[in-house]
Every structure is written in C-alpha cells, then in structure tokens.
Amino acid sequence: MATEKAWGGRFTEDLDEVAGRFLVSVEVDKHLGAVDVRGSIAHAEMLCAIGVLREDERDAIVAGLQKIGAELAAGTFHFDPAREDVHMNVEATLTERIGPAGARLHTGRSRNDQVATDMRLWARGACEQVASLVDALALALCRRADEELDTLMPAYTHLQRAQPSRLSHHLLAYVEMLDRDRGRLWDCRARLNESPLGSGAVAGTTFALDRERTAKALGFDRPMRNSIDATGDRDFLAELLAALAITQTHLSRLAEELVLWSTQEYGFIEMADAHTTGSSMMPQKKNPDVAEVVRGKTGRVVGDLVALLVTLKGLPLGYNRDLQEDKPPVFDAVHQVSMCLEVLERVVLAMRFQREKMRRALDAGFVNATEVADYLVEKGVPFREAHAVAGRLVARAIELRTDLPGLSLDVFREEHPAFDDGIYPVLEPERAVERRNIVGAPARARVKAAVDDAIDRISNRKKT
C-alpha cells in the first residue's frame, strides 16, 4: 500500500508500508463521513465569521463539502486507504477539488478535536436511533398485552410456578425494563451533548475561535470546558455501550423466555414460521433460531463494552492513538442491538399465545398456596403461623395426590379451625388474580390501566 509522507516537514521518509497498513482506520471510521462533513461546514462558517476565511473561500469550502456529503450518502465517494482515515480523505479530496482554500479549512483545528466532535455527533444520533427502536418494541409488547388481558398464567420465581398472574402483566414487565433502557440512552445523549470542536490537539489554539457558534450550529448544548478532557476521554462512548449492554441483556432475557415458552415442555407460544428454522436432519423440528441468536449476541455486546473500558483504563491524558480503537466496539454494539430490537418487534407481533395451555398451568404447582395463608391472615391468624399451615396443607395434598381444592374441608380444619367453606372460592385462579388489586399488581383493571398508560407515555414522547 502506498502511503503519503507523514505530516509535512518534520518527516523525511514515507511511513513504513506495514506500519501504514497497521495504522489505517478508514475502513472503520468512514462511517463518520456524514458527521465529519457537517462538523467541517460549521468550522468553516465560524472561521469566516471571525475573519480567518474570506467569504469566497468559505463558499467554495461549503459547496465542496456539500458535494462530498452527497457522494458519501450515495456511496460513490472514493476512500483512499493511503490517506489513513475519513478526516484526511475528506480534507484531501476537498483540497484537490477547490484548491488552496481547502487547505485552510483545518486552521485552528486538530484531528483530535475533530474526531471527538464526530464521535459525539454520531453517538447522539445512535442514542436517538436505538431509543426509537426500543419504543417500537415496547409498543409491540403493549399491543400484545392489550390483546391478552384475559389470559391467565403462572408467575414464576426460580423457574417454579409461584402465583396466579396475567400474561399481560408478564409482558408489561419487559415494557418497564425497556422504558429504563430508553431512559439510560436519553441520559447518555444529554451528557454527551457538548462540543469538543475548538479544543485543538490538547491545549486549544491561538486563534480566537467562536466555540459557542460552532456548538450551536451542530446542535450541542455548549462547548466543553476543558480542552484536555474534550480530546482525551471517551467516557461518553463507555456510557453508551453500558446502556446498550443493559438493553441487550434485557432482550436476551426476553429471547430466553421465547425459547423456553416455545418448547413442548412449556407450550405457551408458537412462534411464526417466518421467525423459526428447520433442522438439516430432523424434519419435525421448528427451532426458535431468531430468539437464540438474539440471546447469543449478548456476549458480543457486553464484550464491546469491556473492550472499550480496557482500552481506556491505562491511558494518560490527553489524546492517545489507542483511542482509534473506540470505534469498532461502538459501531458494532449499536448495529447489533438495533438488529435485535427490530427483529424482536416482529417476533412479538407475529407469535401466537397458547391461552389454554397457560391457563392449565395454574392447575398444578400449588400456585394458590399463598391464597390459603392470606385467607387465614384475614381471619386473624398471624402470617408466619398461616404460612406454616399452608405449607402443611401442600404436603397433605402431595401425599393424597391431589391439589389444594381437592382437599376436603375436614383436612383443612385438621390443620386450623379457622377454615370454613369460604376457602374454596379463594383458591380459584381468576379470583386470586383479581384480589391482587393494588398498584403494580395483575388485577385486570390495574393491568389495563398500565397498558393504556404505557402506550400513552411512549406515543407522546415519540413526538418530541
């Protein structure tokens, strides 16, 4: 690979060919082309405003950058690996096309503050993109929850049937997780929305740059306060990766349940043919491969976070070339999480719930045992005593090979005299669920209100 002589008069020989291949980053950072052009236009406009560029030079630079931007968008811009990175490709191409004015664009600017600005612009857009996909999946879950308000199922702890609940309530748990995921992305967006542009290589510049102007032009809240920090840290990317890793972990939990629920052992859902695959040997198989791959990508996204943290952990201030390695994990994590969100939205909308199987699951596992204890508490029995009585009754039912409703009243009264015929209606799953009528619980009215609130909350914020 041919390489250009490195940075002018200080060097007397070309960069070693192997070293050049080792340092080149254009295949990765070319994804920053659009934001690099945007930042350069803002910088050129500011240089003209403070008298560094003439108006005709500014106009030539802006027009040239806009043309390059159009080529980047169309995929027709030619990247030369000998020019090392996206920034030098854009600047060198501009200078070739418009002449000396292009060479003046970099006045008062370093690649250090340039790339930091590009990454903040790109990360801000990534937060918005992923947040929108999070909302889309959350709305899909809300839609299914609204359709399944009358579908009962066990709630689980330790993968054991625990108490009667409602499918909608279960789905809304993921909506709450996604709501926090979206909040973390938006918090990250707020913290990263400061402009490094004008910080130079590490200590600013002698030119009287109007940093407030470029910050406003690029949609930043303010210029960053410290030039060393502005160019030498990537904690905003670590925060983005942490938010993405948590989001992906939640998606993995959802995917895990889709895998479990689609088994014959559970039989709670049937995934659409469009989201499953067959076996190369066993013709009867319908494998939940989409959900499995979502689950499998979680290690990759968590690994992206770890990779960046390890890159950052030993760096002295300010900029170090190690920071070139910030881009692959960030670009990868955003891409992977975005794909997983998009495909899970489709899976959720297309899958079919096996309502009868879910309801029958309430007939085994003694999920109404807590109702026995609560019944006694309402009769004035201390809870710990009531809990022990309910446990003994479960043991009696196991011994007699029946369930709690199958026990006679005499057996109930042998364990405690407070029992009467009123115990049997309490054990019905429908009644047990409706008795849980407090905020955050699965009574139908509470769940319906929660669905409506979630849809309203998500839909309104999508407009802002």
Residue spans per domain, the chain: 8-107, 112-358, 362-462
pLDDT of residue 4: 47
C-beta of residue 85 within 8 angstroms of C-beta of residue 323? no
User: 400 CB contacts (<8 Å, ≥6 apart)?
Assistant: 406, 407, 411
Among candidate residues 126, 169, 159, 90, the one with its CA nearest the CA of residue 434: 169
Segment 388-409, tens digit of pLDDT: 999 999 999 999 999 999 999 9
Q: What is the pLDDT of residue 2?
A: 41
Q: Does domain 362-462 have CATH number 1.10.40.30?
A: yes
CB 132 within 8 A of CB 461: no
Token digits for 226? Answer: 């410290």
Q: What is the pLDDT of residue 463?
A: 54
- Judged by DSSP in three states, 155 sits in strand
Helix (H) and strand (E) counts in the chain: 20, 6
Q: Where do runs of H (alpha helix) occur along 318-382?
A: 327-350, 355-360, 369-378
In one-letter notation, the amino acid at residue 162 is A
What does the alpha-carbon distance between residue 426 and residue 374 come to, in Å, rounded to a whole number? 9
Q: How many CB atoms lie within 10 A of CB 382?
A: 10
Predicted confidence at residue 217, as pLDDT, reads 98
Please answer whether residues 334 and 127 qualify as being in contact, where contact means their C-beta atoms are separated by less than 8 angstroms. no
Question: What's the burial of 445, exposed, middle or buried (CB within 10 Å: 0-12/13-18/19+)?
Answer: exposed
Is-contact 445 437, C-beta < 8 A? yes
**pLDDT reported for residue 29:** 84
Residues tagged active-site = 158, 279
Q: Give the pLDDT confidence score for residue 278 in this predicted structure.
A: 85
Q: State the DSSP code for 429.
A: H
Report the candidate in 236, 238, 199, 232 with the shortest Cα–Cα distance to residue 215.
199
CA distances from 445 to 168, 188, 315 (A): 11, 35, 55
The CATH classification number of 112-358 equals 1.20.200.10
CATH of domain 8-107: 1.10.275.10
Token reading at 336: 């992977």
DSSP designation for 16? P
Q: What is the pTM of this model?
A: 0.92
Q: What is the pLDDT along the chain (464 residues), one digit of tens a residue?
A: 444 444 566 767 777 778 767 777 888 889 999 999 999 999 999 999 999 999 999 999 999 999 999 999 999 999 998 888 999 999 999 999 999 999 999 999 999 999 999 999 999 999 999 999 999 999 999 999 999 999 999 999 999 999 999 999 999 999 999 999 999 999 999 999 999 999 999 999 999 999 999 999 999 999 999 999 999 999 999 999 999 999 999 999 999 999 999 999 999 999 999 998 887 888 888 899 999 999 999 999 999 999 999 999 999 999 999 999 999 999 999 999 999 999 999 999 999 999 999 999 999 999 999 999 999 999 999 999 999 999 999 999 999 999 999 999 999 999 999 999 999 999 999 999 999 999 999 999 999 999 999 999 999 985 54
User: How confident is the model at residue 7, as a pLDDT?
Assistant: 53
End-to-end CA distance of the chain: 48
